[in-house]
Amino acid sequence: MFKLERRYERSRYAGLLVTTGSLLAALLFCAVILALAGANPWQTYVAMVKGAFGGKYEFSETIVKAIPLMLCGLGVSVAFRMLFWNIGAEGQLAMGGFAASGVALFVPQAFPNLPSWLLLPLMVVAGFVAGALWGMIPALLKAYLKVNEIIVTLMMNYIAVLWVEYLFYGPWKDPKGYGFPGSALFTQAAWLPRWEGTRVHGGLIFAIVAAIAIWLILARTKWGYEIRVIGENPTAARYAGISLARNILLVMLISGGLAGLAGMAEVAGISHRLQKGLTVGYGFTAIIVAWLGKLNPGGVLVVAVLMAGLLVGGDQIQITMGLPASVASILQGSILFFMLGGAFLTDFRVRWVSRARLPAAPSLAKATPEE
Amino acid sequence: MSIEPSHDQAAVRLVGITKRFPGVQANDGIDLDVRPGEIHALLGENGAGKSTLMNILSGFYQPDEGQILMDGKPVTFRSPRDAIAQGIGMVHQHFMLVDMLTVAENVTLGMESPRFVLNLPATERKIAELSQRYRLQVDPRARIWQLSVGEQQRVEIIKMLYRGAKILILDEPTAVLTPGEVTDLFAVLRQMVAEGTSVVFISHKLEEVLSISDRITVLRKGRVVATVEASAVTPVELARLMVGREVLFRAEKQALPPGEPLLQVVGLKAANDKGLLALNGVSLAVREREILGIAGVAGNGQKELAEVITGLRPSKEGQVMICSKDMTNCSPRQIIDRGVSHVPEDRLGMGLVPNLAISDNVVLKKYRRSPIARGPFLDRSSIDQFADGLIALYDIAAPGHSTAAKLLSGGNLQKTILAREISAEPKVLVAVHPTRGLDVGATEAVHRMLLEQRAHGAAILMLSEDLDELLALSDRIAVMHGGRVMGIVDAENASLDEIGLMMAGSLSQTAVEAGAALTEERG
Ligand SMILES: Nc1ncnc2c1ncn2[C@@H]1O[C@H](COP(=O)(O)OP(=O)(O)OP(=O)(O)O)[C@@H](O)[C@H]1O
Ligand SMILES: [Mg+2]
Examine the pLDDT at B511 and tell me if it is beyond 60: no
Q: What atom of ligand 1 comes closest to residue B27's alpha carbon? A: 14
B62 with A9: Cβ contact below 8 A: yes
B134 pLDDT tier (thresholds 50, 70, 90): confident
A236 with B133: Cβ contact below 8 A: no
B112 by Cβ neighbours in 10 Å (0-12 / 13-18 / 19+) ranks as middle
Q: For B163, which of A239, A362, A368 is closest by C-beta distance?
A: A362
Average pLDDT rounded to a whole number, residues B483-507: 85
**CA distances to B154, B393, B420, B432 from B351, in Å:** 26, 20, 10, 11
Q: Give the amino acid at B160.
A: M
Q: What is the pLDDT of residues B221-246, one digit of tens each?
A: 999 999 999 999 998 899 889 888 77
- Map residue A349 onto helix, strand or coil: strand
pLDDT value of position B353: 96
Report d(CA B470, CA B431) in Å as an integer: 12
A5 contact B CB<8A: yes
Examine the pLDDT at A121 and tell me if it is beyond 90: yes
Examine the pLDDT at B344 and tell me if it is beyond 60: yes
B123 pLDDT tier (thresholds 50, 70, 90): confident
Question: For residue B3, how far is the Cα from the chain centroid?
Answer: 39
Strands B223-229 and B215-220: antiparallel
Report d(CA B30, CA B222) in Å as an integer: 8
Report d(CA A138, CA A148) in Å as an integer: 8
Asked whether A74 and A258 are in contact (CB, 8 A), the reply is yes
Question: Best interface-test mutation with A: which of B90, B163, B353 has the largest number of A CBs within 10 A?
Answer: B353
Radius of gyration (C-alpha) of chain B in whole angstroms = 24
Asked whether B356 and A229 are in contact (CB, 8 A), the reply is yes
A246 contact B CB<8A: no
Adjacency order of strands within the sheet including B428-432:
B340-343, B428-432, B459-463, B290-295, B476-481, B484-490
How many whole angstroms from B223 Cα to the centroid of ligand 2? 15
Q: Within A146-202, where are the H helices? A: 149-169
Q: For B378, which of A5, A221, A239 is closest by C-beta distance?
A: A221
User: Does residue A68 have a cis bond before it (omega within 30 degrees)?
Assistant: no
Asked whether B468 and B440 are in contact (CB, 8 A), the reply is no
Determine phi and psi for A170, rounding to 5 degrees: -110, -110
**CA distances to A309, B16, B44, B105, B204 from B422, in Å:** 54, 40, 25, 43, 23
Domain B252-339+427-523 annotated CATH 3.40.50.300 = yes
ipTM confidence? 0.85
Q: What is the pLDDT of residues B161-211, one digit of tens each?
A: 898 899 999 999 998 887 788 898 999 999 999 999 999 999 999 989 999
Report d(CA A314, CA A330) in Å as an integer: 10
**CA distances to B172, B486, B497 from B509, in Å:** 36, 10, 11
Residue range(s) in chain B whose domain bears CATH number 3.40.50.300:
1-87+167-244, 252-339+427-523
A20 contact B CB<8A: no
CATH of domain B1-87+167-244: 3.40.50.300
pLDDT value of position B68: 95
pLDDT value of position B249: 65
Asked whether B173 and B153 are in contact (CB, 8 A), the reply is yes
Helix (H) or strand (E) holding A241: none
- The top-scoring range by mean pLDDT among A322-336, B120-134, B369-383 is B369-383
Q: What is the pLDDT of residues B64-116, one digit of tens each?
A: 999 999 988 999 998 888 999 999 999 987 788 888 888 888 888 877 665 55
| pTM of full prediction above 0.95 | no
Helix (H) or strand (E) holding A298: helix A297-320
Q: Which residues approach ligand 1 with their CB closer than 6 A?
A: B 21, 24, 26, 44, 46-52, 397-398, 407-412
CA angle A96, A99, A102 (to 5 degrees): 145
In the 3-class helix/strand/coil scheme, how is A198-220 assigned residue by residue? CCCECHHHHHHHHHHHHHHHHHH
Q: Which ligand is nearest to the CA of B171?
A: 2
Q: How far does A110 lie from chain B, in Å, by closest CA?
A: 39
CB atoms within 10 A of CB B23: 11
Q: What atom of ligand 1 comes closest to residue A9's alpha carbon? A: 1
Determine phi and psi for B346, rounding to 5 degrees: -90, 105
Asked whether A351 and A2 are in contact (CB, 8 A), the reply is yes
Examine the pLDDT at A227 and tell me if it is beyond 50: yes
How many whole angstroms from A317 Cα to the centroid of ligand 1? 55
DSSP-assigned letters across all residues of B118-151? --HHHHHHHHHHHHHHTT----TTSBGGGS-HHH
A358 contact B CB<8A: yes
Report d(CA A337, CA A216) in Å as an integer: 31
CB atoms within 10 A of CB A6: 12
A233 contact B CB<8A: yes
Q: What is the pLDDT of residues A61-99, one digit of tens each?
A: 999 999 999 999 999 999 999 999 999 999 999 999 999
B367 contact A CB<8A: yes
Examine the pLDDT at B250 and tell me if it is beyond 50: yes
Q: Can you point out the beta strands (E) in B230-289?
A: 261-271, 277-287
Which chain B residues are Cβ-neighbours of A357 within 8 angstroms? 85
Radius of gyration (C-alpha) of chain A in whole angstroms = 24
Q: What atom of ligand 1 comes closest to residue B53's alpha carbon? A: 18
Per-residue DSSP letter, A157:
H
Taking 3-state DSSP, the helix, strand and coil percentages for chain B, each rounded to the nearest 5, stand at: 35, 25, 35
Q: How far does B359 lie from chain A, in Å, by closest CA?
A: 12
